[in-house]
Amino acid sequence: MALLVLDPMSSIPPYEQVRSQLAAAIESGRLGPATQLPTVRRLAGDLGLAVNTVARAYRELELAGLVETRGRAGTFVAGPPSQTRQLAVDAARTFLRRMRELGFDPAGAVAVVRHEAERTIEPGWAPQP
Amino acid sequence: MIAHHFLNYLIGYSIGAAISGLFMLIFLLRRQRWLRRADKLARQSNIALPLWIEYEVAGFLRNESLFAWFVTTLTLPVTNTVIVELVMDQNWAKWFPWTLVGLPLYWAVVGYVLSLWPRWKASNQYRVTHLVSRSVRDAFTPAEFAALILGVLLGLALGAWGLRHVAAPAAWWLAGAAAFGVGFVAWHHAARSIMNRPSSASDEIELGWNDLLRFRQVRGFTVTVAWTPAVMVFLLDCMMASAFTRKFTAPGEVGYQLEWWPILLPIVTLVLLTLVFRQGRGLWRRAWLDHSGLG
């Protein structure tokens, strides 16, 4: 059932609860491509969260290529990933497997990537679609 | 003279409001009645009504009726003044176009105001909501949509008949058409606003009730906006054409006989609308199931 449940007592931050449940629903096919998601304001109102919290979850889903924002029309579930994005996903999975072998948890692995990206980022490096 | 007329009107209105208020109070205090209504709504809509939610639903229905009474009492002087002035003045050419132009927006506003209270409150801190948004269109079947369009077209046609009857200038015809356009835009914004109003639910059953009551509000509001102007314009047309009474002459006397068809026709329309709009009562659930992949 395509529902989103927010547990206020959970140790997982609210934005992560929203992001992970949406991601799971999209990846399992419960939310098909081009399905319109609720507006950030509406979802924030439903869940009793700040607008910025839901906006952050949507932003991360957009960066992961799972949803796309079509201006004023709203946010929609993205279609199948492009070949480039699929290669990026495969590279990320390989990286995460290696980090796990090294004893990192996902948050630790992401922190390493973020730190390295900020330290070594090359000028003019634009994100791929 | 005007002050005397106003005072009489005020006293009459106050007595009417006090009597209806008394009846409303008696009506409100009968808790079992609201519980029975909640139970009936649950059965009709095929939704669970656990004991812990029963009082919440009954309270919602009671507050909805209370607010409808309150708004009606507040707006009654306006509608009453218009009708009384129309009947007393008999200056249809002056009053009818203004009434026609005001009706669509008036009912869009009143209908929306009626949906503003009460709101559902979640029973605890947990929150559940849908992952997809729904449109106003999800709240009606194709036959119901056709009935809504028919109501608007009928309102336009009856309005045109009235304008022709009072030989209104071309500007009023344009204003009448524009008024229906403005009424449509107001309805569309209001209906979307009701559909997108945040829900407040702690579990699936509460979310189901949220959806059921939301769909009920949108449907009731839309039917009001589509059909009430048509019915009111029909009654005004009948008044203008003196259709409520029939003059008869007997040897030595001239009398008037009450005509029932102008009164019965709106009642028949109401019954037909109730029958047509029964079919979409379960749409809130279908929208739920469709999006969850179970439908």
Does residue B238 register a pLDDT over 60? yes
Compute how many other C-beta atoms are within 10 angstroms of the C-beta atom of residue B118.
15
Q: Which of B133, B199, B292 sits opposite A36 (nearest CB)?
A: B133
Residues A54 and A70 in one domain: yes
Model confidence band, residue B293 (pLDDT cutoffs 50, 70, 90): very low
Does residue B224 register a pLDDT over 90? yes
Residues A59 and A41 in one domain: yes
Using the 8-state DSSP alphabet, how is residue B119 labeled? -
Q: What is the pLDDT of residue A124?
A: 63
Distance from CA of B196 to the nearest CA of A (A): 7
Q: What is the pLDDT of residue A114?
A: 86
Q: What is the mean pLDDT of residues A87-95?
A: 87
Highest mean pLDDT of the ranges A53-57, A106-110, A122-126, B125-129: A53-57
Of the two residues B9 and B116, the one the predictor is more confident about is B116
> For all residues of chain B together, what is the average pLDDT?
87
What does the domain layout of chain B look like in residue ranges? 1-89, 96-295
Q: Which of A6, A8, A25 sits opposite B131 (nearest CB)?
A: A25
Q: What is the pLDDT of residue B250?
A: 75
- Residues from chain A that touch B204, judged by Cβ atoms under 8 A, are 1, 3
Q: Which domain holds residue A48?
A: 14-77
Does residue A120 register a pLDDT over 80? no
Distance from CA of B288 to the nearest CA of A (A): 9
Residues A59 and A89 in one domain: no
Q: Which of B125, B199, B291 sits opposite A2 (nearest CB)?
A: B291
Q: Is there a contact between A8 and B198 if contact means CB atoms under 8 Å apart?
A: no
Q: Is there a contact between B133 and A30 if contact means CB atoms under 8 Å apart?
A: no
> For all residues of chain A together, what is the average pLDDT?
87
Residue from A22, A40, A46 to probe the interface with B (highest B Cβ count within 10 Å): A46
Residue B129: strand pairing partners? A4
Q: Which of A3, A9, A22 sits opposite B128 (nearest CB)?
A: A3
- Residues from chain A that touch B200, judged by Cβ atoms under 8 A, are 46, 48
Count Cα neighbours of B182 within 13 Å in the Cβ-side half-sphere.
Answer: 15
Does residue B80 register a pLDDT over 90? no
In a domain, A125, yes or no: no
Question: In this structure, which amino acid lies at residue A33?
Answer: P
The number of distinct structural domains making up chain A is 2
Model confidence band, residue B292 (pLDDT cutoffs 50, 70, 90): very low
Q: Which of A7, A44, A46 sits opposite B199 (nearest CB)?
A: A46
Does residue B48 register a pLDDT over 60? yes
> B285: closest CA among B274, B276, B294?
B294
Does residue B247 register a pLDDT over 80? no
List the single range of A78-82, B47-51, B126-130, B280-284 with lowest mean pLDDT: A78-82
Helix, strand, coil % (nearest 5) of chain B? 75, 5, 20
- Residues from chain A that touch B207, judged by Cβ atoms under 8 A, are 3
Q: What is the pLDDT of residue B294?
A: 35
Q: Which of B129, B132, B201 sits opposite A35 (nearest CB)?
A: B132
Compute how many other C-beta atoms are within 10 angstroms of the C-beta atom of residue B46.
11
Residues A69 and A19 in one domain: yes
Domain of residue A21, CATH code: 1.10.10.10
Compute how many other C-beta atoms are within 10 angstroms of the C-beta atom of residue B210.
23
Q: Is there a contact between A43 and B129 if contact means CB atoms under 8 Å apart?
A: yes
Residue of B nearest to A19 (CA): B131
Q: Is there a contact between A38 and B292 if contact means CB atoms under 8 Å apart?
A: no
Highest mean pLDDT of the ranges A98-112, A113-127, B82-96: A98-112
State how far Cα B282 lies from the chain centre: 20
Of the two residues B241 and A129, the one the predictor is more confident about is B241
Model confidence band, residue B295 (pLDDT cutoffs 50, 70, 90): very low
Distance from CA of A102 to the nearest CA of B (A): 36
In a domain, A69, yes or no: yes
> B124: closest CA among A6, A120, A109?
A6
Q: What is the mean pLDDT of residues B220-234?
A: 95
Q: Is there a contact between B129 and A38 if contact means CB atoms under 8 Å apart?
A: yes
Residues A71 and A106 in one domain: no
A39–B contact, CB cutoff 8 A: yes
Residue of A nearest to B202 (CA): A5
A20–B contact, CB cutoff 8 A: no
pLDDT tens profile A5-29: 999 899 999 999 999 999 999 988 8
Residues A19 and A62 in one domain: yes
- CA–CA separation, B188 and B222 (whole Å): 9
Residues A50 and A90 in one domain: no
Q: What is the pLDDT of residue A127?
A: 57
Q: What is the pLDDT of residue B287?
A: 63
In a domain, A73, yes or no: yes
State how far Cα A112 lies from the chain centre: 18
pLDDT tens profile B155-170: 999 999 999 999 999 9
Percent of chain B with pLDDT over 90: 54
Which two three-digit tokens encode residue B213?
């009551």
- Stated pTM of the model: 0.82
Q: Is there a contact between A38 and B133 if contact means CB atoms under 8 Å apart?
A: yes
pLDDT tens profile B176-216: 999 999 999 999 999 999 998 888 899 999 999 999 999 99
B294–A contact, CB cutoff 8 A: yes
Model confidence band, residue B152 (pLDDT cutoffs 50, 70, 90): very high
Residues A24 and A63 in one domain: yes
pLDDT tens profile B3-14: 676 677 777 778
Percent of chain B with pLDDT over 70: 95
Residues A94 and A58 in one domain: no
A69–B contact, CB cutoff 8 A: no
Q: What is the pLDDT of residue A77?
A: 93
Residue of B nearest to A26 (CA): B131
Q: What is the mean pLDDT of residues B274-278?
A: 94
Residues A43 and A62 in one domain: yes
